[in-house]
Amino acid sequence: MSRLRAAETVQVRESDFGLRDFDDRSFSRRHHHTALVTAACAHSRVSLADRSTALFS
């Protein structure tokens, strides 16, 4: 993955899924928040793929 693509991915997760919306300094809570953001992003991508597949079927 190119650096530009990685930067775009981080920006999407920050703006659309709230990656930076966590202020607690605890590692375990930060890890939990990041895992939830990643799950939300994955769910969104799968949902979009399902919708685009249904449109072209």
Q: Per-residue DSSP letters for 13-39? A: HHHHH-TT------HHHHHHHHHHHHH
**So what's the pLDDT on residue 32?**
92
Asked if residues 24 and 30 have their Cβ atoms less than 8 Å apart, the reply is yes
For the chain, give the mean pLDDT. 82
What average pLDDT does range 37-52 have in this prediction?
84
Specify the number of domains making up the chain: 1
Write the DSSP symbol of residue 53.
H
Domain containing residue 51: 3-55
